[in-house]
Structure 1
Amino acid sequence: MIAASLLLLGTAFSTTAFADEAWQQTVVDIAGVENYFREHCMMLEAGQTISYRYQSIYPLDFNIHHHPDNNTIFLYNEENRTSSRGEFHADNKDHFCFTWTNKVERGGEEWSVVLDYQVTNQ
């Protein structure tokens, strides 16, 4: 089983505070439909650490999970947040997924979540 540890660093941040060129960015589009969700997954090798931060204009539920042996293991869950940041360490190779869920009907309005992340070998 994959063991992972999370170190949450806080919730408020400025994207301009991080000038490191090693950071990558992904934009995930969200629809203002109740229970609409999107996920962004990436493969991590054993021993890698991923640092992340995201920001949304509307509150969303957020989780990090992976699927070893066709199971779903949740590493982190938070509800009703517009931003967060943290990091976790992958003890085994697997796809790890960041998932955002809109829990509120917003008339189909669309917006984007900006995810910044950095993968390092530890």
Structure 2
Amino acid sequence: MKTLAISNLLLLAGSMTASADSLTNKHFILVTTHQNEIGEICPEMDAGQTLSFDFQSNHDVEFNLHFHEGEKVSYPIEPHKVSTLEQSFEAPIKQTYCLMWKGLNQDPSKIKVNYTID
């Protein structure tokens, strides 16, 4: 049986400090996952808000964007293998949306994430 563990999220802005620019709502985050572990960033969004994001990883990871409605999980961006991505997503409903990465490599995957919500 596979066990998935949520990785530690390390916040990063500039070189190594946590930050979110309150005027522009920019976020800079480093997510580290190990093989078969997951890391998530789950912002709450109102209907019509846009999540713009990009990330780069030192290894391929399985990425998706999803949200939960009770027991049902919906995937506006289906899981797929990727090491870099730049994309935008407009929330159709008020909801918590999760950007999720699953480590695929035996060595840790370090994912540098930038995102804004407008």
For 1:28-39, list aligned pairs within 5 A.
28-31=31-34, 33=35, 35-39=36-40
The number of equivalent residue pairs is 96
How many percent identity over aligned positions?
Answer: 22
After superposition, give the CA deviation of every residue in 1:16-54 in whole Å (9 maximum; x if it has no partner).
xxxxx83321211212x2x22111111001110110001
Instruction: Give the superposition deviation at 1:69.
Output: 3.4
Provide the C-alpha distance between the structure 2 equivalents of 1:39 and 1:83, rounded to a whole number of angstroms. Answer: 16
Structure 2 matches for 1:31-70, cutoff 5 A? 31=34, 33=35, 35-70=36-71
Selected match of 2:29 from 11, 26, 29: 26
TM-aligned CA deviation for residue 78 of structure 1: 4.6
Offset from partner CA, 1:79-107 (integer Å, 9 cap, x none): 33110011111121110001111223x1x
Measured in 1, the distance between the counterparts of 2:68 and 2:86 equals 22
Q: Which residue of 1 aligns with 2:117?
A: 119
| Equivalent position amino acid for 1:110 in 2 | P
Residue in structure 2 matched with residue 102 of structure 1 by the alignment: 103
> 2-side partners of 1:78 and 1:65: how far apart?
9
In structure 2, the CA distance between the partners of 1:91 and 1:79, relative to structure 1 (3 Å rule), is: closer
Q: Greater CA deviation, 109-118 or 47-56?
A: 109-118
Gaps of 5+ in 1: 1-20
The structure, 1 or 2, with the larger RCO (C-alpha pairs under 8 Å, 6+ apart) is 1
Considering only aligned residues, what root-mean-square deviation do their CA atoms show, in Å? 1.9
**TM-score, length-scaled by structure 2:** 0.72
Match of 2:14 in 1: none
Q: Whose helix fraction is larger, Structure 1's or Structure 2's?
A: 1
Could you tell me which runs of 5 or more consecutive residues in structure 2 were left unpaired when the two chains were aligned: 1-22
TM-score, with length taken from structure 1: 0.70
